[in-house]
Amino acid sequence: MTSQGPPSWLAEVDRYREDLEFRAMLRGREFAFRTTWGLFSPREVDLGTVELLEEMRVESADDCLDLGCGYGPIALTMAHLAPQGETWAVDKDFVAVEYTRRNAEANGLSNVHASLSNGLDVVPAERRFDVIATNLPAKVGNELTTLLFADAYLHLNPGGRLYVVTLSGMRKFIQRTLEELFGNYDKLHQGRQHTVHLAVREA
């Protein structure tokens, strides 16, 4: 019986195990990203994230949090804009957290703290932020969305800002929920695909 070599498709499949690499210009800085299949938008920073970043106001000493960080484009941009503050990045996917850590290090950003977390569960109750941002998945569900927004409110300083980008079809629910929890709402941008929302913790 002759020994057969590896299947002809093996080399092609193994290629998918290799990291993807690309560069992106975000808020005036070029970032180098390494990603992998299975993470959201692994070949380029998605349009919703780009639109969110264009609308965010981040001061140089702000403490920031990226909720659902993926491989880190929001967290790294906030850390760049707020070099005197600390940026936390949380995600329930350990692969995402690891790539955020690697990308922060590769881009020379020492003020990024990435952690595995279900929502904001690992964030200490007393930890407060000036900016929280999230690219909210469409299939997250109304109940979890409400919980995430409520936890964001509790972790914001007075005057702290929550920025959310969603598919535009979700905008009415997002507006209603933010108005109920924060008492205010502002639509910063609405395109054909995405809407960027803002709510402020007033006290």
Percentage of the chain lying above the pLDDT 70 cut = 98
Could you give the number of structural domains in the chain? 1
- Count Cβ atoms within 10 A of the Cβ of residue 37 and give its class: 0-12 exposed, 13-18 middle, 19 or more buried: exposed
Would residue 11 count as lying in a domain? Answer: no
Would residue 79 count as lying in a domain? Answer: yes
Which pLDDT belongs to residue 3?
60
Inform me whether the pLDDT recorded for 1 exceeds 60: no
Which pLDDT belongs to residue 2?
54
- Contacts with 131 (C-beta within 8 Å, 6 or more apart), sequence order: 56, 57, 58, 62, 63, 64, 65, 78, 82, 160, 161, 163
Would residue 25 count as lying in a domain? Answer: no
Residue 31 · residue 76 · CB < 8 Å: yes
Q: What would the mean pLDDT of 49-55 be, rounded to a whole number? A: 97
Would residue 80 count as lying in a domain? Answer: yes
CATH number at 74 reads: 3.40.50.150
Report the run of H or E that residue 22 belongs to, with start and end. Answer: strand 20-26
Would residue 144 count as lying in a domain? Answer: yes
Which pLDDT belongs to residue 89?
98
Would residue 8 count as lying in a domain? Answer: no
- Contacts with 59 (C-beta within 8 Å, 6 or more apart), sequence order: 81, 82, 130
* pLDDT 10s digits, 122-136: 999 999 999 999 999
Which pLDDT belongs to residue 199?
98
Would residue 10 count as lying in a domain? Answer: no
Would residue 149 count as lying in a domain? Answer: yes
Domain that holds residue 65: 45-200
Which pLDDT belongs to residue 138?
84
Distance CA 191, CA 88 (A): 28
